[in-house]
Amino acid sequence: MKIAVEGCAHGELETIYDTLQYLEQKEGFKIDLLLCCGDFQASRNEADLRCMAVPPKYSNICSFYKYYTGLKTAPILTIFIGGNHEASNYLQELPYGGWVAPNIYYLGYAGVVNVAGLRIGGLSGIYKGQDYMKGHFEAPPYSDSSKRSVYHIRNLEVFRLKQLSQTLNVFLSHDWPSGVWEYGDKAQLIRFKPFFEDDINRGHLGSKPTQELLNFLKPDYFFSAHLHCKFAAVVPHECGKVTKFLALDKCLPKRRFLQVVDIPHDANLKTEICYDLEWLTILRLTNHLLSVKNVTNYLPGAHGNERWCFTPNEEEKSFTLNQFGDLVVPNNFEKTSEGYCGHKTKNFTQPEPVCNSQTVSFCNKLLIDDPLSLIINLSTNSVIDDSNVSKTPRKLVLPQPVNESESFEEFFSAEVTETEIEAPVEEQLNSSKTFKRRNASIYQK
């Protein structure tokens, strides 16, 4: 399966798709799946822009709304995670994932899905220590503070991901894992980004929780963005396995923001998104740990008196499957807000929170809670206590594995079918220049 991996999209969805289609025509192959590593900026309208933490000069509607409203259709199945520049109000409607537009799927705060035999996981947001152990308390309209804290990762999602026992083929994060630079060309990275050296020396570059996930999950491929540069590394694990790490730049001319990787898959399966049974079961078993309060959310550990390991057994997974039913993600996208009308308005207000029918249906089937629904309920209560979050699952009422024989050298060699695009803008796409081989494995415009 040919998978295009994109760094920070920054709302340039139309440009990304145009680039991929140009590449398909030029190189004579078909891209099966697009993975985006955050800062997707799924802004449907100007009200969404008020919920995005960016300076005013970057508060642009860009092109996502065209795919949301149906003016255009995404030509490639797309899966993305959130970063630190997002229409957070929209993404909060889908905490466990869902369609933000036809053929464009968000993984949620954290998630695992299956596509044609490939197991793909991801974690949205960036790490900030002051919010890591809090609940998901934010909801629109946001304050200046909560507009930023809403995209900070939480210990619950990392805890849930660390319950996984089955191999992941691909993992996505917006933050880099801390320490990953030790397994690539660190000197070149510092030459390209000199100000990284001080952060590296102080241990401030990257995310410790993401590093924990890299070492625990040991995925075949790990893709990141956020730091706006390309960096490759091969991370060894004690078990003898390796993870191929790649970070990519943002979508701008002459920037290394896109890579195409060929990963073996099950050719007998459709290229469609399916829920992951182990992940669904983990969500169900840990629902009582969900917090929507702006206080420290402690999670169980090995020395406590309650269950702390939620890696599901076969009986628990069987119960989930019987309860949930078909694992194919339904095409149940439904607009929850009007799309951009094509001209600027004087809409400077943030919208009220909206419950998304996709999330309501998902939670009802799995018997878990929707964080946003809980917050909406809590907003009518004068007293907030633990009784507002169920301690047992309840029903909502609100409306092929990678080829291990491949060597390190092959990962960076001509034999690996990886293609890099640096410049996506229309005038470059229409240029008479052709792709030229820059080195053994990389093409550039």
**DSSP of 129-153, one letter per residue?**
TTTTTB-----SSPPTTHHHHTTB-
Strands 78-80 vs 33-36: parallel, antiparallel or unpaired:
parallel
pLDDT of 120:
98
Instruction: Lowest mean pLDDT of 21-30, 60-69, 394-403, name the range.
Output: 394-403
With a CB cutoff of 8 Å and minimum separation 6, the contacts of 170 are 3, 35, 118, 119, 120, 121, 219, 220, 221, 222, 223, 263
pLDDT of 417:
38
Given a cut of 60, whether residue 34 has pLDDT beyond it is yes
Tens of pLDDT, residue by residue over 192-210, are: 999 999 999 998 899 999 9
pLDDT of 381:
63
With a CB cutoff of 8 Å and minimum separation 6, the contacts of 440 are 412, 413, 414
Tens of pLDDT, residue by residue over 328-383, are: 999 999 999 999 987 776 666 899 999 999 999 999 999 999 999 999 988 766 43
Q: Are 230 and 248 in contact (CB under 8 A)?
A: yes
pLDDT of 404:
36
pLDDT of 412:
39
Average pLDDT, the chain: 87
Measured distance CA(86)–CA(222) in Å, rounded: 22
Instruction: Tell me whether residue 400 is exposed, middle or buried, using C-beta atoms within 10 angstroms of its C-beta: 0 to 12, 13 to 18, 19 or more.
Output: middle
pLDDT of 347:
62
- 3-state secondary structure at position 419: strand
Q: Are 115 and 271 in contact (CB under 8 A)?
A: yes
Given a cut of 50, whether residue 430 has pLDDT beyond it is no
Q: Domain of residue 359: give its range.
A: 2-444
Tens of pLDDT, residue by residue over 214-228, are: 999 999 999 999 999
pLDDT of 418:
42
- 3-state secondary structure at position 223: strand
Tens of pLDDT, residue by residue over 237-266, are: 999 999 999 999 999 887 889 999 999 999
Q: pLDDT > 70: what percent of the chain? A: 84
pTM score > 0.85 for this model? yes
Given a cut of 70, whether residue 310 has pLDDT beyond it is yes
Given a cut of 60, whether residue 233 has pLDDT beyond it is yes
**Which structure tokens are listed for 315?**
């009986």
Tell me the average pLDDT across 393-399. 38
- Among 87-91, 385-389, 427-431, 437-441, the range of highest mean pLDDT: 87-91
pLDDT of 439:
29
Report how many domains make up the chain.
1
